Chain A
C-alpha cells in the first residue's frame, strides 16, 4: 500500500534502491562513462545544458546518466544544482560575429562574405537506419575534407542588411542597460524582450517548436526567412571591477538564429524587415529557429500587429514554456489528494441524493395527477 498506512519511509527507501538497479540495467553490459555521453550524445547534452540553464558538459552528461536518459529530468537536475551556485555577476554580451564558426548557413543569399559552411548537419542525410553503425566498435570514421578558410571574416547577415537600412536596428538599448534575470526576480507581465528571450532560451524545445510551427500554419503569421544560422565557439568575457577591463572566462558553443521577417512599416517607421532572435547552448538548431520565430511573434505590440494567435500571447507563452515547472505540476497529480477528493465525494453524494429525491417527488406528483384525472 502506498500511502495512509505506516511504512511510507521504508517504501521510499526501497523504491530508490530499485530505481538505482533499473538505472544501471544489466551489469554484464559496461556502464556508460560521462565521456561517452558527452562525446556521442552531444545533442542530448546540449539540450540539457540549455533547458537546465547551465553550461557544463560534464555535469550534463552526469545528469543524463543519472536520469536514465530522461532529458527533462536531467535538465531538472542541472537546474537544482545551478540554483546553489554563487553568482559573481553577468558576463559581457557575447560577440557572435567573432564566432569561431563550425557551421553557418543563410537561406536568404546564394553566397555571401565568409560563404555557406554546412558543417555537421543532419539536413541532407537520408534517414535510413545505418546498420553498419550497430556493429561499429571503433574508430573507423572517415575524415571530412576541408577547404582552407579564407580569412575574410563572417559578418552576420543581419548586419549586411542593416548597412542598407533594410532591417530594423537590432536593439535600441545600449549594451550598458541592466538585463533582467527571471531567476533572480519573479517574472511579471508585460515582460520586456530581454526577459522574454531568457525565458525562451530556457524553454522546452517541443513547446517552442509547436508554437513556431503554429505561426507557419496561419496562427499569427510572421513571414520568416532564415536569414542566418551559425554554430560555433564564442568567448565569454567578464568585466572585472578590480582590473578595470574584461577578462575571458572561457569559450562556449552556441547556435544563433536570426530570422528575417516582413514588416510593412508604419506612419513612424519606413518599411523594413524585422527580426526574430534565437540563441541556445550547443548545436540545437531546431530550438534556436523556433525561439527566433516565437520571439518575433511576441513582438506584435511594438510592431503594431493584431494579437490573434497563441504564439503572440506573452503571458500564455512565457507562463507555460518552462518544462521543469510544467512537468512538476502535471506530475504532482500523482501525490495523494484524498483529503480534497473526500470533500468532493461528499458533495457529489449530496447532490445526487437531492437529484434523485427531486425526481422521485416529480414523478410521484405526476402519477397522482394522472390518477386524479
Chain B
C-alpha cells in the first residue's frame, strides 16, 4: 500500500496524431451527423462531440466539422470577426497546418473550405466551397426557454409562438427588434435556426447560398446544416419587415459600400474610422486601386497594414 508509487514510464519523444487530429472513427461519426443535418435542413443533430485541444467556446464545434470533411487537397481559409489575422483565427489555422498540413489561404475565392466565427465573407461563395460556422449556443429558443427537454419538443411540434412573441415585445417596447446578431431564421419553411452570432447583416447571404453551410457546436454537442440553394427566411412581421444594418459611410480604406464595417477608435477625442470587417475583401479592393476617404490618413497605414504575413504553405 505504501512506498513509492510506481509511475508509468513514457517515451515522451514519440507520438503522432492522425490527419487533422481526429481519429477516423470519430470523423465517420461526425460525417454521419453532418449528412443527417443536410437531410433535415436546420435541424440540430446531437453528436458525440470530442474534447479538443482548444477550449470549449473557442471553436471546437467548427474545428471538429472541418477536421471531418478536410481532405489533403483542400485549401482552408480561417476567419474570426471577418479577418484572417485575429488571434484565434491564427491559432486555429495553425492547428490545421500542423495536424493536417493542408494549404491555407487568406483569399476567399481560393479556399475550398472556409471556417468562420461571427462573419460570412463579402464575396459570394460558390458551389464548390463549404463554409463551416463555429456556434456557441445552437438553440435559437435557449434564451426564451433554458430547458433542452422543452426546446426539443417545441421544434418537434413546430411551436415557435414564443419566438414571435419575443420579437413582437421587442417592437412594442423599443420600436425595433432588438436582435442585431444571431438573428433567428426559418430554414426551408420548417426549422427555426440560429445562424450563429453573425450580425444580421449577413442573414441575406445564407438564403439560397450556393455553398454548403455546416454549423458545429462542440460544447453543446450539436451539428446542423443548410444545403446549397435552400430558402432561409429571417423572421419578421408584414408591417415590420426584416432589414439589415446600414452604414452611413463607405469603408475608410477601400471605399466599399454595402459591406459590414468595423468601427476603429483612433484617439480619445472622438476620432474614429470605419473599415471593412472582411479584411481580405478590403485588401483585394485596395490592390485593384480602390481608395476610401481615409486611405491617406496616417492611421490607415497602421490599420490596413502592409502585405499579409505569408504563412507556411
Q: Which A positions have Cβ atoms within 8 angstroms of B? A: 2-12, 34-35, 38-39, 56-59, 61, 76, 79-80, 82-84, 86, 100, 102, 183-190, 232-233, 315, 319, 324-325, 327-332, 335-340, 342-347, 350-351, 354
Contacts and interface: CB of A to CB of B under 8 A. Distances in A.
Contacts of A84: 17, 21, 23
Contacts of A59: 10
27 contacts: A2-B87, A3-B81, A3-B86, A4-B303, A8-B87, A10-B309, A12-B87, A12-B90, A35-B4, A38-B5, A58-B8, A59-B10, A61-B7, A76-B51, A80-B53, A82-B51, A84-B23, A186-B47, A186-B49, A186-B221, A233-B1, A328-B56, A335-B87, A339-B199, A343-B245, A346-B245, A347-B180
Nearest to A76: B55
B180 A344 contact: yes
B53 A351 contact: no
A249 to B, nearest CB: 13
Given A4-B262, A186-B49, A9 B309 contact: yes
B42 to A, nearest CB: 18
Contact of A336 (B52, B81, B309): B81
Interface string B38-56: 0000000011111111011
A71 to B, nearest CB: 15
A189 B149 contact: yes
**Chain B interface residue count: which class?**
35 or more
Contacts of A340: 118, 180-182, 197, 199
A351 B174 contact: yes
Interface string B114-126: 0001110000000
Given A58-B10, A347-B180, A351-B176, A12 B80 contact: no
Contacts of B221: 186-187
A104 to B, nearest CB: 13
A338 B88 CA distance: 13
B277 interface: yes
Contacts of A7: 85, 305, 309
B242 interface: no
A190 B149 contact: yes
Contacts of A329: 56-57, 136, 219
B89 interface: yes
B261 A342 contact: yes
A233 B5 CA distance: 12
Closest 8 CB pairs of A and B: A328-B56, A332-B57, A328-B55, A343-B180, A6-B305, A329-B57, A186-B221, A186-B46
B85 A9 contact: yes
Nearest to A347: B180
B156 interface: no
Contacts of B58: 328, 332, 335
Contacts of A8: 85-87, 89-90
